[in-house]
Amino acid sequence: MNNKIKKILPQIITLLFVVGVFGFFTFNAQTNMDNRGIDFGFGFLTQESSFDVQFSLIEYSGSHSYARAYLVGLLNTLLVSFISIIFCTILGVIFGVARLSPNYLIRNSAAWYVEFFRNIPLLLQIFFWYYAALRALPVPEKAGPWFGVTYMTIKGYYIPSFIWTNLDIFLYSILAVIISIVIISAYAKKLQENEGKQIPVFFISLGIIFVLPALTFFIGGVSLNFEIPVLKQLSKTSYVFDGGIGLPPELIALVLALSLYTSTFVAECVRAGIQGIGKGQKEAAASIGLTPNQILKLVVMPQALRIIIPPTTNQYLNLTKNSSLAAAIAYPDLVLVFAGTALMQTGKAIEIVSITMLTYLSISLAIAAIMNWYNKKIEIKEK
């Protein structure tokens, strides 16, 4: 009996405490909102937003609703996270491998790169790129072309845009390519297991990748044109680039800072993963006659990836959360558009901040759930 009370009493007290805190907050919020004449509700989401966003992936103007403004912000957040994740992975793998190089200079340069970029606050790096480095770029009329067709100016990076005709047919052909490669590799694996025959899957896939989309150009009526940015004079002293895609400097500064900062953490994950493979594994693989390439592909990588991927995903998650610093340099991400401008206009503090937090929370929890599932799947099953 005594034991039971010991178990139940603390739980009831904790529960009462949590409920009490929540009740206190809700009560206060209720009184405060009543006094100020604000009502709680999500009806504002369908109202006209009447503010403009500088940079948007989907069509958006002031006449659209707040819900669409939220979507614009979310897409911008995802865009900057996606680009930064690609760059930080490339840089991270390069520097992670370089830290294990036998070459003294390479090893130490990589170590200094990691120590340098990860010990400076991310916000300071964003400020540095945006306010100091990118402000030193030339104005549009003085910008020389990079790679012939792109222009890096103080107003942004201008790249050619693609103009497709019959894009859907091309996308179908890509889909067909993926399906056929999956079928062929499954068939090849079966053939090897059953009859011991090997077919050159790689070259067949390469052929399909080139032939099928090319066919759509000749037969399907698909065509691709480029729209190259052209310098246009607005008035006597002001020039802009017309046509193509203009990436705003906020986006560039953010991608630079996020990918350099996160790449140091990815590099450490990669290094730990490769170092985590015992020497015996490589020696054992070499002693049964595998070539260096096969050792890397069949023995080292599968084991190293098992160590590398979970912490790296964690870093991707951190990057996505850190992309909210975009608000500091007025890149229209979720925090700036929704928790900034929309909140200022509607005054719906509780609703908007909770939606913003829930959005980040659901991204985090979704990735965490996928990671747990993946970890369970790749776990070494010891007998």
Partner 1 sequence: MNSINFLKSNKQNFYYFLYLGLFLFSISILDVVINAFFKINVTSFLPGVISVFLPLIIGFVGLNFIRTEYSGIKSLDIINKNINTNNFNAILTLLIIFAIIKATPPSLSWMIFDANISGDTKEACTGTGACWTYVKVWFRRFMYGMYPNDLHWRINLAFILVIALGFFGFFLRDNLKKYLALYYVIIYPIIAFLVIYYLISGGAFGLVWVETGAWGGLSLTFIVSFFCLIFCFPLGMILALGRRSNLPTIRYISIGYIEFWRGVPLITVLFMSSVMFPMFLPEDFFMDKLVRVIISITLFEAAYCAEVIRGGLQALPRGQYDAAKSLGMGYWKMHIFVILPQALKLVIPGICNTFLALVKDTPLIFVVGLAELAGMLALAKTNPKWLGFAMEGYIFAAIIFWIICYAMSKYSYNLEAKYKTER
Phi, psi of 232 (to 5 degrees): -130, 140
Minimum CB–partner distance for residue 244 and partner 1 (Å) = 29
Q: Which residue has the tokens 């809700």?
A: 26
Q: Which among 24-32, 54-62, 186-194, 236-244 is the span making contact with partner 1, rule CB under 8 A?
A: 24-32
Cβ nearer to partner 1, comparing 103 with 238: 103
Cβ nearer to partner 1, comparing 31 with 238: 31
| Half-sphere exposure (Cβ direction) of 225: Cα atoms closer than 13 Å | 8
Do residues 95 and 110 touch, judged by C-beta distance below 8 A?
Answer: yes
**DSSP E strands: which ranges in 89-238?**
145-146, 150-153, 156-159, 161-165, 223-227, 230-233
Cβ nearer to partner 1, comparing 96 with 229: 96
CA distance 301 to 281: 11
When binding is defined by CB under 8 A, the residue of 48, 61, 131, 224 that contacts partner 1 is: 131
When binding is defined by CB under 8 A, the residue of 277, 343, 371, 378 that contacts partner 1 is: 343
Cβ nearer to partner 1, comparing 92 with 340: 340
Q: How many residues bind partner 1 (CB under 8 A)?
A: 55
Minimum CB–partner distance for residue 362 and partner 1 (Å) = 8
Helix residue ranges per DSSP H, 99-153: 104-118, 122-127
When binding is defined by CB under 8 A, the residue of 10, 20, 23, 207 that contacts partner 1 is: 10
Cβ nearer to partner 1, comparing 136 with 219: 136
Helix axes 66-98, 104-118, angle to 10 degrees: 150
Burial class (CB in 10 A: 0-12, 13-18, 19+), 247: middle
The answer to whether 115 contacts partner 1 (rule: CB under 8 A) is yes
Minimum CB–partner distance for residue 60 and partner 1 (Å) = 22
The alpha carbon dihedral of 36, 38, 39, 40 has a sign of negative
Coil, strand, or helix at residue 274? Answer: helix
When binding is defined by CB under 8 A, the residue of 78, 106, 177, 305 that contacts partner 1 is: 106
Binding to partner 1 (CB under 8 A): which residues in 309-328? 321-322, 324-325, 327-328
Cβ nearer to partner 1, comparing 159 with 329: 329
Binding to partner 1 (CB under 8 A): which residues in 171-210? none
Cβ nearer to partner 1, comparing 222 with 336: 336
Give the burial string for 82-106 (b: 16+ CB within 10 Å, else e). ebbbebbbebbbbbbebbeeeeeee
CA distance 309 to 269: 8
The answer to whether 232 contacts partner 1 (rule: CB under 8 A) is no
Do residues 145 and 151 touch, judged by C-beta distance below 8 A?
Answer: yes
Minimum CB–partner distance for residue 349 and partner 1 (Å) = 4
**Residue 247: enclosing H or E segment and its boundaries?**
strand 245-247
The answer to whether 365 contacts partner 1 (rule: CB under 8 A) is yes
When binding is defined by CB under 8 A, the residue of 109, 161, 180, 281 that contacts partner 1 is: 109
Binding site for partner 1 (CB under 8 A): 7, 10-11, 14-15, 18, 25, 28-29, 31-33, 35, 101-106, 109, 115-116, 119-125, 127-128, 131-133, 135-136, 321-322, 324-325, 327-328, 335, 339, 343, 349-350, 353, 356-357, 360-361, 364-365, 368
